[in-house]
Amino acid sequence: MAKTIDARGLSCPQPVLMTLDGIKAGNDDELIVLVDSDASKENVSRAATSKGWTLADIREESGVYRIAIRKG
């Protein structure tokens, strides 16, 4: 089960900082990031891909984006 980072309700740059912390920790090959704004969704996606991670899946459920990112 991939680790989930809950960045709902947080404004930039917090969701990106939390995502990068998760990537930097190096414990997981897959992370789920929850955000609830389009700007945060774009920023998290951009930050993850800039670190060489890939966007595995983005889903929206009642205003919350569930972004799955994978190493490599």
Partner 1 sequence: MDRMKNIFAGSWGIIGVGVVIGILAPLLQKLGNPGNMGVCVACFERDIAGALGLHRADIVQYIRPEIIGFVLGSLVAAYLFKEFRPRLGSAPIVRFFLGVFAMIGALVFLGCPWRAALRLAGGDGNAILGLLGLVSGIWIGTLFLKGGYNLGRTQKTHTAAGWMLPLFMAGLLVLMLLFPQIAGEAKNGVLFYSLRGPGSMHAPLLISLGVGLLIGFLAQRSRFCTMGAIRDFVLFRQTHLLSGFVALIVTAWVVNFLLGQFKPGFEGQPVAHTMHLWNFLGMALSGLAFCLAGGCPGRQLFLSGEGDGDAAVFVMGMIAGAGIAHNFGLASSPAGVGPYGIPAVIIGFGVCLFIGFTMRQKIA
Residues forming contacts to partner 1 in the complex (CB under 8 A) are 8-14, 16-18, 20, 36-39, 42-43, 45-47, 50, 55, 58, 63
Least distance in angstroms from the C-beta of 11 to partner 1:
5
Least distance in angstroms from the C-beta of 25 to partner 1:
15
Least distance in angstroms from the C-beta of 60 to partner 1:
10
What are the start-end ranges of the E strands in 1-72? 3-6, 30-35, 53-61, 64-71
